[in-house]
Amino acid sequence: MHQPLLKLAIVCSFFTINSLNTTAQNNSDCITALDACSKENISINYENSNGMIEENITTNCDILFDTEFSPTWLKYSFVKAGMFTFDIIPTNENDDIDFVVYKSPSNDCDNLESIRCMFSGETKGQDNFCLGSTGLSLESTDFNEAPGCQDGSDNYVAALDVEIGDIIYVLIISFNQEFNTQYEIQHGGTAETNCTTLSNNTTVAPEGIKVYPNPFKSAIYFTNLESIQQGGVIEILDISGRALQTLNTENLNKINLEKLNPGIYLVKYINKQGLSTVQKILKI
């Protein structure tokens, strides 16, 4: 088990839903988490990189870890109560995949608190194999598995008992030393999530937004204006992910931000398919 270090960078993650629908977007931070459907399997081909935003987290895990180290974030919004399970199955059975499940009192990315922690990641004889597949299981009773492969560890933690309206966030961290990590997420249990955001068609990730000047004093512009004006919304967020301003991108030429205090902000572009990309900006 490797202990992660994290700070700032941009990640590109590629998702295939049921091997039919291909979506790609920046899911390296909680505010850009992929809205996952419990009725679909998700195949992920992930290029190792880091997240952009340091989340506000209270951890009940046995280790301190960096949430920005090779992260993929998923969001599950439940519309049917019951037990919820999943299996994360890497293509390479020797890959070390860890994850943390979070809830928030406000059902968003603010004040996240860990409720499941999975950090096993070694092999300890034939009876304790803590690499490869991992997840939430109806058979498991523990909420936390520490680094290494302790006696009783099986690379799984207990399933979740969720209610209608609950939202959870799942942070998946790969410690694969290769550049790419490939794994599939299979869902189980009786709980169901909101699946209205899925499409039967292949969708393409939005082109990364390109803001200038950066740093800026009063207004920002876009070098890829033609792409952005095809439709969608732009959100201006503070560093905690709170939306300060939302604008329709049609006929958008610039954004006046002179009323903002100096500091770091985020520009989030969400296209018509619901896919998003984020850029950090600095007001001086």
12-16, 35-39, 150-154 — which is least confidently predicted? 12-16
Tell which residue, 5, 7, 3, 119, has the closest CA to residue 61.
119
Query: How far is Cα 136 from Cα 236, in angstroms, rounded to an integer?
Result: 35
My answer on whether 215 and 143 are in the same domain is: no
Query: How far is Cα 143 from Cα 101, in angstroms, rounded to an integer?
Result: 10
My answer on whether 39 and 177 are in the same domain is: yes
My answer on whether 20 and 160 are in the same domain is: yes
51-87 exposure pattern, b = at least 16 Cβ within 10 A, e = fewer: bbbebebeeebeeebbbbbbbbbbbbbbeeebebbbb
274 contacts 27 by C-beta, under 8 angstroms: no
My answer on whether 182 and 256 are in the same domain is: no
Total of domains in the chain: 2
My answer on whether 104 and 184 are in the same domain is: yes
Do the domain assignments include residue 263? yes
Query: How far is Cα 235 from Cα 239, in angstroms, rounded to an integer?
Result: 12
> What does DSSP assign to residue 209?
P
My answer on whether 19 and 104 are in the same domain is: yes
Query: How far is Cα 225 from Cα 214, in angstroms, rounded to an integer?
Result: 16
Between 175 and 87, the more confident residue is 87
pLDDT at 9 over 60: no
Query: Domain limits at 63?
Result: 13-193
My answer on whether 96 and 133 are in the same domain is: yes
pLDDT cut 70: percent of the chain above it: 72
Place of tokens 């020797």: 94
Q: Where is mean pLDDT largest: 9-18, 43-52, 139-148, 176-185?
A: 139-148
Mean pLDDT of 201-211: 52
Do the domain assignments include residue 56? yes
Tell which residue, 147, 42, 21, 38, has the closest CA to residue 88.
42
4-18, 152-166, 168-182 — which is least confidently predicted? 4-18
